[in-house]
Amino acid sequence: MKVEERLKLKRKAVERELENILSQENSLLFQAMRYAVFSGGKRFRPLLTLSSGECFGASPDLVLPFACALELIHNYSLVHDDLPSLDNDDLRRGKPSCHKAYGEDIALLAGDSLLTMAFEIAAQAPLRNDLQIKRGQIIKEISQFAGVKGMVGGQLMDITLSQDVLTEETYHELILKKTGSLIIASVKTGAILGEAGDSELEAVIKYGRNVGLAFQVRDDILDSGKDAQKGRLPRPNSVSLFGLKDSERRLKDFVEAAKNALDEASLESEELNYLAAKLLELEKRSENEQNS
Ligand code: FPP
Ligand code: MG
């Protein structure tokens, strides 16, 4: 089977599991949570988790709940990011953002519920006895990468740092936290479940850092000009910092570095290489791939 087909099957498994997780109730809150989660996301993070787990021999059934937990956290962050007090975006993936469809109060709670549910899923996921010890480690990693030291901390930098005081170093720190954290958590979770050794974990983290950097630089390239369009001051952005040409070169370098991290540790994963290389595709963003 070709790599695209294998990833397609993985994506289907993620959709099915998310359906299971989010069909517990039909309350307004669950409707808003489902609206946020089933609006055309690429499932990039759970695919990373499943592919990383597979690379180290973890069974997909074991990894799937954790992969979905990471996708729930990702979707919470998008719901909250779009709120008027943060980015004030009316559209997400070409459709009304969650607060536009359900109101700010429900959207806020839907985000809260997606985040807390992620930890419930991770805490309850069936694991073999000999792997129980890994659960605490994974929950610790995910909470750190999602929290103050990770994604939330990066979001704070995004809000508070103005473009004119930004150095290359601070910009990298910002995007590593804001976007990279959850991506690193995704690959690391798969690797921990596959009982990767220390040097293998290091390699996977290096891959995740570079995929995270590439992911946000690509997002900046595709979104360049959006701040001006919306009449707001430019937010920290690769294109306004380094220009378009240089940003494209940086994107290539990060993708190369991600693949090298795997090669150097002799880790073979067609999927992980493919997912990194996918970030080089810069054709105009499709309707369902709009981010803020
Ligand atoms: C798009 O992902 C997401 C990003 C580029 C990450 C941006 C980071 C935030 C919005 C952090 C927000 C944090 C808080 C705490 C509010 P994607 O292209 O994979 O989206 P998809 O799921 O639609 O495919
Ligand atoms: Mg945004």
pLDDT for res 230: 73
Region 132-151 average pLDDT = 97
**CA 33 – CA 128 distance, rounded (Å):** 30
**CA 179 – CA 81 distance, rounded (Å):** 12
pLDDT for res 133: 94
Contact 79, 36 (CB under 8 A): yes
Closest alpha carbon to 49 in 74, 30, 29: 74
Protein residue closest via CA to atom 20 of ligand 1: 41
| Confidence (pTM) | 0.96
| Model confidence band, residue 146 (pLDDT cutoffs 50, 70, 90) | very high
pLDDT for res 292: 39
pLDDT exceeds cutoff 70 at 120: yes
Contact 190, 58 (CB under 8 A): yes
pLDDT for res 180: 98
Name residues contacting ligand 1 (CB within 6 A): 41-42, 44, 77-78, 80-81, 86, 93, 151-152, 155, 178-179, 216, 219, 291
Region 26-36 average pLDDT = 98
pLDDT digits (tens, 9 = 90+) for 170-207: 999 999 999 999 999 999 999 999 999 999 999 999 99
Dihedral of alpha carbons 25, 30, 31, 33, sign: negative
Protein residue closest via CA to atom 22 of ligand 1: 41
pLDDT for res 229: 75
pLDDT exceeds cutoff 60 at 1: yes
Distance 144 CA to ligand 2 centre (A): 21
Percentage of the residues of the chain whose pLDDT score is greater than 70: 97
List domains and CATH numbers for the chain.
Answer: 3-289 (1.10.600.10)
Protein residue closest via CA to atom 7 of ligand 1: 179
Which residue among 290, 291, 292 is best mutated to probe the pocket of ligand 1, counting the most ligand atoms within 8 A of its Cβ? Answer: 291
Which residue among 78, 99, 156, 183 is best mutated to probe the pocket of ligand 1, counting the most ligand atoms within 8 A of its Cβ? Answer: 78
**CA 49 – CA 190 distance, rounded (Å):** 5
pLDDT for res 284: 61
| Model confidence band, residue 287 (pLDDT cutoffs 50, 70, 90) | very low
pLDDT for res 290: 46
Protein residue closest via CA to atom 21 of ligand 1: 41
> Measured from the CA of 40, which atom of ligand 1 is nearest?
23
Which residue among 77, 237, 278 is best mutated to probe the pocket of ligand 1, counting the most ligand atoms within 8 A of its Cβ? Answer: 77
Distance 79 CA to ligand 2 centre (A): 9
| Model confidence band, residue 289 (pLDDT cutoffs 50, 70, 90) | low
